[in-house]
Structure 1
Amino acid sequence: MPFPIQRLRRLRQNPAIRDIFRETVLRIDDLIYPLFVVPGTNVREELTSLPGNYHLSVDQLPREIAEITALGIQSVLLFGLPEWKDEIGSSAFQADGTVQRAIQTIKTYRPDLLVIADLCLCQYTSHGHCGVLKGCLIDNDVTLKILQQVALSYAKAGVDIIAPSDMMDGRVGAMRSILDANGFENLPILSYAAKYASAFYGPFREAADSAPQFGDRSTYQMDPANSDEAMREIASDIEEGADMIIIKPALSYLDILQRARQQFNIPAVAYNVSGEYAMVKAAAARGWVDGKRISLEILRSIKRAGASAIITYHAKEAAVWLREEGKYYG
């Protein structure tokens, strides 16, 4: 109908109308909070480039988990830093490794909290790449055997979901095979199916001590210019047994997220990565943006694009803001 019969502003004129007809609902339980677990005891060190986030030793996890669950957050994503590194990342699959002990501690303290463990070798290798090197390139198939051992060690520790982020070809199938063969056929795999070789990872690499010692990761992470290739990656991982997928990063790849949700009938998680978070925090600290409004706007845009859940360093503060609004969504 032509103006003035149709006035779209009628449904925006007060908060109650806006709330009831809002198309995109952001809930606290949509949020997955990353945790960086480190060796040692009594370690709680704020990350310089990720303010509000910390390096935590395993003994500090009960305190952190109590805070997280009190806010209504139901899921965490674990990253671990090892006590030692070598050429093949063998500390990643030790039964008493940092992530393995973190899983056991959290599940003992709060068995209802969903624990997802990121699975990659970059933090554990002396060279900082995500697999076993052959010259200056990763030996994909040898790396798969290491990744299998890590997956099995996480399963034995009691993890709820395994999230491989290495971007090796065939890794989902390799993990599915070893998990099934050892009685873990019901353990889901949340695959970083479309992980781009992005410049947005800088603060994370500092937090995880995982920057490559030479070169970059363009030979295994995706070219930011490509979208059709992302659909091929996702299709391949689903065929190999992935139960869910991750698109990473989120903001510059909302088109990939939306296309994946339209093309594949599978839950899709978006990773609101460290560089995206750090830019907001830096601008907010200088008074250039309203930190609360822009953070929630970003999270809603990711949900609007089709995210089933969002991995975000904003999770704790976003949960506080949503509670302040008097609801679990907004």
Structure 2
Amino acid sequence: MTKRPRRLRDHEALRAMVQETRVDAADLIQPLFAVHGTNIKREIPKLPGQYHFSVDRLAEEVKELQSLGIRAVLIFGLPEIKDAAASQAFSDEGIVQQAVRAIRSQVPDMLVMTDVCLCQYTDHGHCGMVVGDQILNDESLSVLAKTALSHAKAGAHVVAPSDMMDGRVAAIRETLDAHGFHQVSIMSYSVKYASAFYGPFRQAVASAPQFGDRKTYQMDPANRLEALRESALDIEEGADMLMVKPALAYLDIIREVKNKFSLPLGAYHVSGEYAMVKAAVAADLLDHDKIMVEILTSIKRAGADVILTYFAKDMARLLQLKGQ
């Protein structure tokens, strides 16, 4: 008897019925960029369709995202002042703190997540404290913990440390718990590679390092087993969710982490991965919606429970048009 798998592909409804992987709007997290000022909605040149928002314009964007079925946003901030101490990262009047308060007060049902890192706030552009040309690990932990605490005080539901300093999850968890924020979750960028795909983001937040690179703390793209060690350490330190970044070039790592650990897993489809598609579409090389769906489906299929992506709004709009 001839085996005919094609029978299940013969009709659109049948194909949908047996489809193994689906991306839902609730799976998506939209990154947002907050800036000082008023009445600002300024497109980011290297990230078409993405904007810098002043705090007074954030709520309207978040309300639109919510209307499309997106239930979570991740806030990045661009401070007015950078210094060696990253003082604006943990200021109660810092840009992320203001943004969180605005969203929580005006769109109370939205899950608000915050990026915890120092690179946007330091004058040297590195993710930790620096002496000379050395990025200091242990000396950075208290600053990261203070930053996470300030986000929690502002109302963040989830803090997401992306700095890749050893021990930062434990330092953040201890600090949050000591101040009564037991309910605030930690989504750790457990597996963050020193990737060439971050270029547009670094322009968007003016966070490129002023000397050297980030290879002494971000992971070597060639390493697989190290991803499992990093994830295990973050779980031991108290992470509630794990993250792999970037996503598309590291689908194998997403699957490895998902197979090994039971915690919910996020994947960050990063700026360069997004910008490449937008450039290819602009050059009439790819179909925007088809390639977007294929990429996000591949990330979900690899094992991601949630996907941080600049495509979140476009994907949610497409799903809504299709009645999904």
Q: TM-score range by the shorter chain?
A: over 0.9
State the Cα deviation string for residues 115-153 of structure 1 (Å, max 9, x = none). Answer: 000000000000000011022111111100111110110
Tell me the equivalent position of 1:140: 137
State the Cα deviation string for residues 139-188 of structure 1 (Å, max 9, x = none). Answer: 11110011111011011101000000000000000000011100011211
How many aligned residue pairs are there? 324
Q: Is 1:7 matched with 2:20?
A: no
In structure 1, the residue corresponding to 2:267 is in which secondary structure? strand
Give aligned-pair identity as a percent: 57
Which residue identity does 1:326 align to in structure 2? G
Q: Is the CA contact (8 Å cut-off) linking 1:88 and 1:131 kept in structure 2?
A: no
What CA RMSD, in Å, does the superposition of the two structures yield over aligned residues? 0.7
Q: Is 1:39 matched with 2:31?
A: no
Tell me the equivalent position of 1:20: 17
Tell me the equivalent position of 2:309: 312
Q: Calculate the TM-score normalised by the size of structure 1.
A: 0.97
* Equivalent residue for 2:172, pick from 168, 171, 175: 175
In structure 1, the residue corresponding to 2:197 is in which secondary structure? helix
Q: Is the CA contact (8 Å cut-off) linking 1:167 and 1:195 kept in structure 2?
A: yes
Q: Is 1:190 matched with 2:187?
A: yes
Q: Is 1:110 matched with 2:107?
A: yes
Q: Is 1:279 matched with 2:272?
A: no
Q: Calculate the TM-score normalised by the size of structure 2.
A: 0.99
- What's the CA shift for 1:71? 0.9
State the Cα deviation string for residues 12-51 of structure 1 (Å, max 9, x = none). Answer: 1111101111000110110100000011111110011111
Which residue identity does 2:147 align to in structure 1? V
Structure-2 separation of matches of 1:24 and 1:300? 7
State the Cα deviation string for residues 200-255 of structure 1 (Å, max 9, x = none). Answer: 00000000110001111000000000010110000000000000011000011111
1:192-271 mapped onto 2 (5 Å cutoff) = 192-271=189-268
* Equivalent residue for 2:161, pick from 151, 164, 184: 164
- What's the CA shift for 1:277? 0.3
* Equivalent residue for 1:296, pick from 269, 293, 312: 293
Q: Is the CA contact (8 Å cut-off) linking 1:243 and 1:266 kept in structure 2?
A: yes
1:30-109 mapped onto 2 (5 Å cutoff) = 30-109=27-106
Which residue identity does 1:109 align to in structure 2? Q
State the Cα deviation string for residues 276-303 of structure 1 (Å, max 9, x = none). Answer: 0000000001100111100110000000
Structure-2 separation of matches of 1:67 and 1:179? 31
In structure 1, the residue corresponding to 2:185 is in which secondary structure? coil
Q: What runs of 5+ residues in structure 2 fail to find an aligned partner?
A: none
